[in-house]
């Protein structure tokens, strides 16, 4: 088996005449935490949208475990084990934390899933759902409705619902955006723990987090890869520093 769980070749996305992602070649090593960083507008979210097929690539190939998945639809991609947190694993406000994770487990089992699933139809898997809540540190909030959770707890719940799907690769787009320092630390630990036995590709602006938990860093600027390597080599790269300062965002 290849060392890379995910391989991207020549990935390109045009919006009219504008090229948001311009021929990106990228290999994501199995078992790594890989950061995608770069100034605002670099094309990071667009890359995620292409990987999950929320957007159709203009050209390029995406391989998952050696299989060309470029033509699959979003649901099929999720079923292969490539799951984007905070979207596919949407949290429903009127359900409790526990019910949300039970719903995700139900999806994982392939049972019918639609927005109107009634609470009363959610059965079984309660213990397993509690385990997931434990692992993200919110078991004590099992009976709290998602709408009543703090921002940090809600994101923890989103990670729990993602983990319930047992993804092989998790995509996280700015998981700590808008968080206070305490929540940032909690979510950072959670991502680190959740990465055991799987692969994480994350967009993260907080370079402290990147240096702390990421094995590999790819820097994107204007839709192209500017640099790649471990954090130390990236931090020492003058072009990278310039792109960040030039982009006015770090």
Residues that bind ligand ADP (CB under 6 A): 15, 20, 38, 40-46
Closest approach of Cβ 120 to Mg ion, in Å? 38
Shorter beta-carbon distance to Mg ion: residue 50 or 104: 50
Closest approach of Cβ 45 to ligand ADP, in Å? 3
Per partner kind, with CB cut-offs from 5 to 8 A, the member of ligand ADP, Mg ion, none near residue 41 is ligand ADP
Strands in 56-120 per DSSP E: 59-64, 67-68, 82-84
Q: Give the separation between CA 50 and CA 38, rounded to whole angstroms.
A: 17
Closest approach of Cβ 173 to Mg ion, in Å? 6
Binding-site size for Mg ion (CB under 5 A) equals 2
Shorter beta-carbon distance to ligand ADP: residue 37 or 83: 37
Closest approach of Cβ 148 to Mg ion, in Å? 28
Shorter beta-carbon distance to ligand ADP: residue 57 or 104: 57
Q: Does 45 bind Mg ion (CB under 5 A)?
A: yes
Shorter beta-carbon distance to ligand ADP: residue 21 or 146: 21
SS3 74: helix
Region of residue 124 (phi > 0: left; psi between -120 and 50: alpha; otherwise: beta): left
- C-alpha distances in angstroms, 89 versus 19, 32, 190? 29, 22, 16
- C-alpha distances in angstroms, 31 versus 5, 62, 109, 133? 8, 18, 24, 23
Per partner kind, with CB cut-offs from 5 to 8 A, the member of Mg ion, ligand ADP, none near residue 162 is none
SS3 134: helix
């Amino acid at each position: 088996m290849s060392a890379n769980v995910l391989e991207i070749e020549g990935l390109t996305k045009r919006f009219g005449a504008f090229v948001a992602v311009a021929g990106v070649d990228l290999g994501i090593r199995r078992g790594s935490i890989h950061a995608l960083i770069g100034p605002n507008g670099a094309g990071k979210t667009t890359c995620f949208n292409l990987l999950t097929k929320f957007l159709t690539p203009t050209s390029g190939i995406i391989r998952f475990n050696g299989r060309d998945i470029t033509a699959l639809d979003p649901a099929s991609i999720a079923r292969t084990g490539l799951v984007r947190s905070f979207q596919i694993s949407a949290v429903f406000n009127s359900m409790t934390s526990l019910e949300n994770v039970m719903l995700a487990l139900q999806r994982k089992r392939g049972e019918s899933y639609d927005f109107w699933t009634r609470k009363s139809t959610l059965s079984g898997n309660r213990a397993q759902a509690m385990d997931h809540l434990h692992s993200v540190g919110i078991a004590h909030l099992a009976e709290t409705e998602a709408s009543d959770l703090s921002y940090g707890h809600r994101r923890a719940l989103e990670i729990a619902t993602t983990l319930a799907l047992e993804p092989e690769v998790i995509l996280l787009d700015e998981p700590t955006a808008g968080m206070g320092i305490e929540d940032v630390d909690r979510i950072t630990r959670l991502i680190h723990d959740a990465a055991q036995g799987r692969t994480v590709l994350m967009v993260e602006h907080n370079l402290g987090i990147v240096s702390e938990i990421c094995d590999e860093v790819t820097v994107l600027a204007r839709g192209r890869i500017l640099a790649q390597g471990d954090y130390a080599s990236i931090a020492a790269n003058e072009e990278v520093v310039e792109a960040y300062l030039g982009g006015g965002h770090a």
